[in-house]
Structure 1
Amino acid sequence: MDYGAVLQLHRIYANQAPPGELWTWWLDQVEVLMRSGDRSLATTAIDFASKANIEPWGSLTGGHYSRMRFIEAL
């Protein structure tokens, strides 16, 4: 994964969620995508999350990983 892309996406989305809640917000959007039937984009967003588990996005928690598995199972 291109770290520059990780930084660029962070610049785009960082203000969409309260501090420390970016991954929760991100997974909320992924769940909406999956429920709407856009499985391909939702899967890409989950893949991004698992690989972008670095600064400045911050660390994923066990709860985030559980939620990703739940979303993938939808």
Structure 2
Amino acid sequence: MAIRIHLDNVLHERRMSLTELADAIGITLANLSILKTGKAKAIRFSTLDAICRVLDCQPGDILAHVPDGDEEDAC
């Protein structure tokens, strides 16, 4: 998939755990973990809004588009 998730990086910068974020935005840890690992097929705008509000970031801080063929450059 051409979308990469950098949620781990932002959480690390904010010194916040995935569990703390899940509690703060009202989503299950299991669903947030699916998003963090890049296994999610979709994300609701309301969830993205809540993540950005709690982490004080922009969607581009946690999501990146990597064109096909450039996947090694994603990390």
Shorter-chain-normalised TM-score: which range? Answer: under 0.3
Q: Greater helix percent: which structure?
A: 1
TM-score (norm 1): 0.27
Q: Greater strand percent: which structure?
A: 2
TM-score (norm 2): 0.27
With CA pairs under 8 Å and 6+ residues apart, which has the higher RCO, 1 or 2? 2
